[in-house]
């Protein structure tokens, strides 16, 4: 089974949203995946996702409420087949943490290139619906790639 890890900065907005969205859409598509998420930072470890992110996801039918934040570990780079990050800062940070031979981190919007490179941090922008639009498109792109 393919194992997917999403990475953002705090693991309370973008990557838990991606975890919930991909899990639901892959299940709907009949694709079996292991999906997890984490942050490059550990400030929010143990916390549920940010309430506005939970509410925006809920309006589209995704339940993020059981998820809890954690920080990335070196073991993640061998435990997951795809490490998908939300922006170029996450990419640089994750590359710095990657042990030799570990899975190379990749920008998630690689799977929805029309949106650009970065899923901007809604912690600052407040644009949780824009984040969901990008994450839904990239999830479907990833599912299409993995289903080939
Ligand atoms: P996320 O958003 O990386 O999408 O989870 C953030 C959440 C918290 C912080 C930064 C980004 N923070 O600095 O606490």
Atom 8 of ligand 1: nearest residue by CA position? 10
Q: Note down pLDDT in tens along the chain; length 148 residues.
A: 999 999 999 999 999 999 999 999 999 999 999 999 999 999 999 999 999 999 999 999 999 999 999 999 999 999 999 999 999 999 999 999 999 999 999 999 999 999 999 999 999 899 999 999 999 999 999 999 999 8
Q: How many angstroms is it from 11 CA to the middle of ligand 1?
A: 7
Domains (range + CATH), the chain? 2-146 (3.40.50.2300)
pTM, two decimal places: 0.98
Report, as residue numbers or ranges, the catalytic residues.
Answer: 8, 14, 121
Q: How far apart are CA 135 and CA 125, in angstroms?
A: 16
> Ligand 1 test: best mutation among 7, 13, 87, 125, most atoms within 8 Å of CB?
13
């Amino acid at each position: 089974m393919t194992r997917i890890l999403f990475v953002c900065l705090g693991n309370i907005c973008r990557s838990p949203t991606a975890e919930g969205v991909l899990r639901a859409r892959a299940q709907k598509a009949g694709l079996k995946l292991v999906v997890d998420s984490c942050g490059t930072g550990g400030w929010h470890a143990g916390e549920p996702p940010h309430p506005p992110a939970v509410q925006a996801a809920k309006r589209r039918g995704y339940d993020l409420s059981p998820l809890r934040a954690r920080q990335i570990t070196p073991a993640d780079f061998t435990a997951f087949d795809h490490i998908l990050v939300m922006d170029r800062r996450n990419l640089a940070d994750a590359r710095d943490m990657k042990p030799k031979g570990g899975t190379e981190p990749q920008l998630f919007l690689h799977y929805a290139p029309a949106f650009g490179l970065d899923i901007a941090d809604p912690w600052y922008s407040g644009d949780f619906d824009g984040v969901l639009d990008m994450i839904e498109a990239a999830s479907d792109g990833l599912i299409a790639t993995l289903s080939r």
